[in-house]
Structure 1
Amino acid sequence: MQAHRREMTVMNDEELLGKALHVAREAGLLLLRKHGAVLPFGLTLDSAGDNPRTFFPRDQLPRASWDELLEATIGHLERSAGSADVGAIALVTTLESGSESGLGVQVETHSSSLFLVYPYSGTGQSWRLGEPQKAEGVLVGPLLAQDD
């Protein structure tokens, strides 16, 4: 790894958390409108809050179960978290409880994590996300946030 100085704007953790949440939520809504569900996927942002990279395990594992896709996404995010310039990560998937469905979004920075569930309703292109509910704890992990 080269040690060189780069001039870039580093976002604080609160800004990174907000940006990762926004990008993850919008990507999840796009998938919901395209497929009617959101299979587990991951997202990373660099420490400037730029360069969003998504990981869709369904592309490599077309016949995998939801649990296998979740495990593949977690593994990818854990490997990515070790990268020098990952400032935020997100894990996104559909969550179901009884007859209710929602978009689960877990976002993390190096010092904080947040897990929200957006209830959704609709069909086809008209899917809408409701007001998010903060979930206790996290879906998995923490993967990036450090417990001090």
Structure 2
Amino acid sequence: MNDQELLEKTLHVAREAGMFLLRKQGSVLPFGLTLDPAGDNPRTYFPRDQLPRASWDELLDATLAHLERRIGSGDVGAIALVTTLESGSESGMGVQVETRSSSLFLVYPYTGTGQSRSLGEPQPAEGLLVGPLLAP
């Protein structure tokens, strides 16, 4: 799998997982995703499971620490960081995806409530939410 395919696959898996959480819970608390270099073996990390009372910042920090540990294992081809982002009255789902040679940060505005939530067209964001962690 080439780098572009790996980036696209990771984005797809991260977006779908985030959309599931958005419809189920109404927001997306920070979580991480890794795929191996072949684009297989997706592994997710939801820090809320271990830190039920943590703030958004603490959940983000825990997710970043987990991703950094996974990167250190050497069996990671791509990572994603997914979370709800808010600015004033607007909300969106931020998806940062990185491979070893590229990175991408998109914000998907969303509308609706509950199971009827839908994502709008992604808006490229300048820079990254954090990092880069994996990409140079």
What TM-score comes out, normalization by structure 1 length?
Answer: 0.91
Point out where structure 1 has 5 or more consecutive residues left out of the alignment. Answer: 1-10
| In structure 2, C-alpha distance between the alignment counterparts of 1:14 and 1:81, rounded to whole Å | 19
| In structure 1, C-alpha distance between the alignment counterparts of 2:49 and 2:118, rounded to whole Å | 25
* Mapped pair 1:69 → 2:63: no
- For residue 84 of structure 1, report the CA deviation from its aligned partner: 1.8
> Which residue of 2 is the match for residue 37 of structure 1?
27
Aligned with 1:119 (options 91, 104, 109): 109
- For residue 122 of structure 1, report the CA deviation from its aligned partner: 0.7
- For residue 138 of structure 1, report the CA deviation from its aligned partner: 0.2
Alignment RMSD (CA, Å): 0.5
| In structure 1, C-alpha distance between the alignment counterparts of 2:114 and 2:53, rounded to whole Å | 23
- For residue 85 of structure 1, report the CA deviation from its aligned partner: 1.6
| In structure 2, C-alpha distance between the alignment counterparts of 1:81 and 1:112, rounded to whole Å | 15
Structure 1 runs, 4 residues or longer, greater than 3 Å off: none
* Mapped pair 1:20 → 2:10: yes
| In structure 1, C-alpha distance between the alignment counterparts of 2:113 and 2:34, rounded to whole Å | 29
Larger Cα-atom Rg: 1
> Which residue of 1 is the match for residue 38 of structure 2?
48
Q: Which whole-Å deviations, capped at 9, do the CAs of 1:71-120 have from their partners, x for residues lacking one?
A: 00001011111122200000000000110000000000001000000000
- Once the two structures are aligned, what percentage of the paired residues are identical? 83
Point out where structure 2 has 5 or more consecutive residues left out of the alignment. Answer: none
Q: How does 1:75-94 map to 2 (within 5 A)?
A: 75-94=65-84
| In structure 2, C-alpha distance between the alignment counterparts of 1:77 and 1:84, rounded to whole Å | 12
What TM-score comes out, normalization by structure 2 length?
Answer: 0.99
Residues matched between the structures, number: 136
Secondary structure in 1 matching 2:80: strand
- For residue 12 of structure 1, report the CA deviation from its aligned partner: 1.1
